Amino acid sequence: MSKCAKCGIEILDNTDMCPLCHSVVTKDADVVSMYPNAEGIVRRFRFIERIVLFASVVAMGGLILANFIGRPFVVWTVIIGLILVYANTLLRMTITGKVGYQSKTLVLTFLAVGILIGIDALTGYNRWSLNVVLPSAILLLSLVVFILIFVNFRNWQSYIPMEILMVVTSIALIILYLVGIITYPNMVYITTVVSVLLLTGTVILGGDRAKRELYRRFHI
């Protein structure tokens, strides 16, 4: 980019003469690109991701070696391994742009719940992961969807499939309670009521847009 000292206009091409006054233009060496170097930023983040992955592998290798050399602590080694898996998955999905934020939110939430269920099983299986963590995660997702509807109001109908998933998952929790796997029903009831009301309110208040979205997604 060049600039004419006489006219003050900026010239985008590589000409040496101003098209208005025909004066010699000066090259503007201080002009900075309007767009950030996205490729360079992603490359740096991917390098950080590889560093974290390598550090995790080294840490797990050290823990496994410590189990053989000293007093075994297998349970805590597995727990730390699960946490490292989640941390690396979180970092990976945060950097990559191949999936949408709704899919990232669902995957990371349910992966966290799965890891906490595994930790619960390794530490005596007191069912706190199923009685509290699992319904709380679904309740949290429902509240997140409720907030996103207002934040992204122009595209609110895109959250209907996520609301349906929350209702289906809540029904699955009720089934787990009926078969005795979940022993604390209060959180299940709260989660189910919230998810059903959220979906019902969206469909009723959404009117034709909600109906079109349901037909487009599920042909109903």
Q: Which residues of the chain have pLDDT under 50?
A: 29-35
Q: What is the reported pTM?
A: 0.71
43 inside domain: no
81 inside domain: no
d(CA 10, CA 85): 52
Element (H, E) at 10: strand 10-11
69 inside domain: no
Structural domain that includes position 6: 1-32
116 inside domain: no
pLDDT at 114: 93
d(CA 97, CA 95): 7
190 inside domain: yes
164 inside domain: yes
pLDDT at 39: 61
Number of domains in the chain: 2
Distance of CA 99 to the CA centre of its chain: 9
173 inside domain: yes
19 inside domain: yes
